[in-house]
Structure 1
Amino acid sequence: MATLDTLLTDLIAEVTRIQAPDALSSKDGDSFSMPGLIATGDGRSIATSREMERLIEAVAQELKGSDPSISQRYTDKEWNWLVRGTFGPALMIIDLDDDPAHNAQRVLASIRSQIDAAVTAQARENAFGCTLFGTFNVAPFAIGPVSFEPRSDWLTRKQHDGEITNTTARRVRQSWRGAKLRRRKAGYDAIREKDILDAVGKCPYVCTVRTKGLAPEASRLKAQTASHLAMAAVALRWSRPSEALAGFRLLTDPGIRRQRSLVFVPGVRILAGAQLVGMPHGPSISAEDWLAELEENRDGFALIGQAIDYFLNVSGVTARPKIMNAIVQALLWFYEACREEVDLMAVVKFTATLDALAAGGKSGGIRRLVNARLGIQDDKPIRKDGPTLKAAVDEIYSDGRSRTIHGTNDKLGKDWSSTRRLAEQFARLCLITSVGWAAENPSIDNPAALQKN
């Protein structure tokens, strides 16, 4: 594998080559290719060949490999673009007649200096319009770095912070009441007003996620995932979280849709079929009852908030990284399982939730997790006249998860809806009790301990 020095030496050689007349023709290799441009920072640009672009991307990947935190802070696209932009100023400080190795070191030093200047601990607040409860008067609440607020409360807060002008706030409120707004004079405030109306839409709530040290796109993507983790935590308070989550969504998520199909049966007149996917909002709950839920489960919500903080933390440093990692992964699998439309795939994902909590201990680890956290032994029925715990885990783990992943499931065509409900209940109860155990044992950072009484 090429080193940074080798890549930069090769790149400088390529820069030297393309200085020749007609070196950057429209034919680059065997295909048509227009040369790229990199700004030098002084109003000029450097033209690039396809080989230069390849070498620049290779340098970006080498730099990324030497610093694990880069993958936490940037998307690949953002990182490659940042590194590419540093080459313009860097290549302007060298003399192509100088020693190539010396030039390579100067370019590398310039690149590192520019990257260090660009990497800041900048704080960002990503706000998304969202649906939540069927009642819209629930007081603002937070789960770690994720906050949920009725949109009027959110608007008042941003107005108070000076981030939204009084005029913009007044006009947004008018629009939310259904008034038709007069056309506004073009300018920053007009753009901000439109951005608010577009981002919140008709959603009654706003979900806000605070990040620090993340590049813009990485911040947005991680904020969306953090929002989903927090929504899953809220949905755990209902006996069927998947039904609650059917009405919890960010405006950036897929919306409610009606699936339509045409059905033809020989000799029978049948109208088109239709099925609604998603709900306009989640279950209704009074402000007083939700406040009581938050208070009663305060420690559990606080623990999940710490896990979401860990997920967003660019350094990955936390008091209990192993426990936090297990909780985050379990909660993420749980969210995805609840959203899944295919029952068998939901079984796979709910079982992955259990496997994450059981430290990858397979079916035996899941049984030990249930033994310890739910108090059900292997040979005991999970409900009256129901299967034993061992039989139930075999159904969801061996028949559902493992054979499907390994491509050996010979029951793909059967109805997996009952197994899905079973897997959801196990995943929900094990998540709740595991989070509770982690909150009660703040000094333990070993997920395997969840399998012990």
Structure 2
Amino acid sequence: MSPNDALAELLLELDRTHAPGYYQSDAFQKDRDFPNFTTAANGEVRNFHKPARKLLEVLAVAIYEQHSTINKRIDEKRFAELVRQVVADLHASEALVNVAKPLKALVDELTDRVDKASLTFTHSFPAWTFGVEDVGEWAFGPVTFLTWPQWLNRVDFPDHVKATVFNEPEANARWKDLLLESMKGRNKPAPAGLAGMFVSSVTSCPAVLRVEVGGLERNQSRKLAEIVCKGALDAVSLLVGQRQSFVQQALQVERLPPIGIDSIVESNGYLWMPGNSLTGRVPSMEGSRVRQFLQDFPAEIQAMAHAVNGLLDRSHPHPQLASRWATALDWYAEGQRERSDAVALAKIGTSLDVLASGGKFAGILNLLTNLLGVPEGATLTQGVKQRTLRAVVKDIYDNGRSQILHGSRHDRMEAFESDRNVAAFLARLALIEAALRLKRYSGNDDAKAFTNMPARISQVTPSGTQ
């Protein structure tokens, strides 16, 4: 059904059930449906019974898919709600009566409301970091790393909110001081007024990441802000180069392992003494040392920030390649956080696949030979099992990622640790080099550009292990 037909039938249904200009209860009884009301802007009520709701869904999906000026700025669920409200408003005001092109009138109104809702929002995310912000605010491209006291120096509520909310004007006027005081002890009672709303945030994570996003509706804006902040954290962890970095640095919303794992075992009918081991989440590096380390690699930091900023900056010269790099980084980071070696190998293999823009084994091999400057026949691993780059990539993709995801290798006791480590090592170098080349790249914004992107004049590989 076309959107024109869906809108025409929807208006007929609303005309039928609201013939006198208001909802008719006898129509509800005949349709045997529960009332589903929306209040229009003029105060009238429109009920969307089951046939109307189906037509509304068809209409919303069709408009959302066909108009990029809309779907890039508002999420689909929020847009469906907006369509319902606008249809109710326009029907109640009879704005679509005797209109030559009612669908265009509807889309114009929707576009106008999306424009008005697309503001500049600044989002803050509680996070675990290395603590680089402890010695002063630190910025990674568009993302600022802050302690909570630093964050409080940047934000505030309007005066009228502090004067009225919760009927606590005195506490609200001192909300920053009260929140800082509550941070000194976890067992203290929640402070009164506005400060109490932030206790769970400041006690769950020691840091906060802040980023500004413009031109999107609030929900869509937050979604993008979260992606950007996660990319900033993961890029720093990538440069540091240790697997545990990816669980020591994460947003509050991430799925993370526990800090400690208990082991309870018995044999011959008797228990052994219980064991306990710490996971990689326990901080292993001081923030000041990490910050100094990052200062030693300004080119790498600037290049990765340039790529992450491509998610926000509409004037970025290569937005598609920046998005591809950031998505590949996301897969890599999830692979590094993964407990299962097999699943981790599949995710890291996917990271390389995204960076190469498909092509399977051959595509990844071409990507790595270009970015790493290593011929496919070069010996990559030493020891008993020496393997060329070509053999390693085949193990990562054909024998690893593909067979794991398609179920050919399903034995979860099978060892994949060695392949995982090699894949992580290669993907890390490829991601860093890809960001460095993208920063200087002047060619087309082509999906496969990383497989043939020209080398830099001088290449310096950052230190660190996977």
TM-score surpassing 0.5?
A: yes
Distance 1:255 1:398 in 2: 29
- AA aligned to 2:4 is D
The match for 2:210 is: 208
Alignment of 1:53-452 (within 5 A): 53-94=53-94, 102=98, 105-106=101-102, 109-110=105-106, 112-120=108-116, 121-133=118-130, 137-158=134-155, 167-178=174-185, 180=188, 184=192, 190-191=193-194, 193-240=195-242, 242-254=243-255, 256-257=257-258, 258=260, 263=265, 265-270=267-272, 279-281=281-283, 283-286=285-288, 289-312=289-312, 318-385=316-383, 386-409=386-409, 412-443=412-443, 445-446=445-446, 448-452=448-452
Distance 1:194 1:221 in 2: 25
The match for 1:187 is: none
- AA aligned to 2:113 is A
Distance 2:378 2:103 in 1: 68
Per the TM alignment, residue 52 of structure 1 is displaced from its structure 2 partner at its CA by 0.9
Distance 1:37 1:296 in 2: 61
Per the TM alignment, residue 6 of structure 1 is displaced from its structure 2 partner at its CA by 0.8
Corresponding residue SS for 1:113: helix
Per the TM alignment, residue 434 of structure 1 is displaced from its structure 2 partner at its CA by 1.4
Per the TM alignment, residue 350 of structure 1 is displaced from its structure 2 partner at its CA by 0.7
Maintained 8 Å contact 1:248/1:282: no
Per the TM alignment, residue 67 of structure 1 is displaced from its structure 2 partner at its CA by 1.1
- Could you report, residue by residue, the CA deviation over 1:115-142 in whole angstroms, capped at 9, with x for unpaired residues? 4134234111111111111576232222
Per the TM alignment, residue 26 of structure 1 is displaced from its structure 2 partner at its CA by 8.7
Taking a change above 3 Å as real, the CA distance of residues 103 and 276 of structure 1, as seen in their structure-2 partners, is: farther
The match for 1:44 is: 44
Maintained 8 Å contact 1:38/1:87: no
Q: Which has the larger displacement, 107-116 or 122-131?
A: 107-116
Any gaps of 5 or more consecutive residues in structure 2? 19-23, 163-171, 456-466
Per the TM alignment, residue 58 of structure 1 is displaced from its structure 2 partner at its CA by 1.4
Distance 2:141 2:312 in 1: 11
- AA aligned to 1:4 is P
- AA aligned to 1:404 is I
Maintained 8 Å contact 2:367/2:450: yes
Distance 1:436 1:170 in 2: 44
Maintained 8 Å contact 2:311/2:319: no
Taking a change above 3 Å as real, the CA distance of residues 74 and 426 of structure 1, as seen in their structure-2 partners, is: same
Corresponding residue SS for 1:408: coil
Corresponding residue SS for 1:119: helix
Distance 2:381 2:201 in 1: 46
Distance 2:173 2:9 in 1: 57
Taking a change above 3 Å as real, the CA distance of residues 392 and 83 of structure 1, as seen in their structure-2 partners, is: same
The match for 2:29 is: 25
Per the TM alignment, residue 35 of structure 1 is displaced from its structure 2 partner at its CA by 1.5
RMSD between superposed Cα atoms in Å: 3.1
The match for 2:458 is: none
Per the TM alignment, residue 230 of structure 1 is displaced from its structure 2 partner at its CA by 0.9
The match for 1:13 is: 12
Corresponding residue SS for 2:271: coil
Distance 1:160 1:153 in 2: 16
- AA aligned to 1:325 is S
- Could you report, residue by residue, the CA deviation over 1:223-264 in whole angstroms, capped at 9, with x for unpaired residues? 222221111100012232x31111112223345525557655
Per the TM alignment, residue 266 of structure 1 is displaced from its structure 2 partner at its CA by 5.0
- AA aligned to 2:404 is T
Distance 1:115 1:348 in 2: 41
Maintained 8 Å contact 2:148/2:207: yes
Distance 1:360 1:147 in 2: 34
Distance 2:114 2:217 in 1: 10
How many residue pairs match? The answer is 433
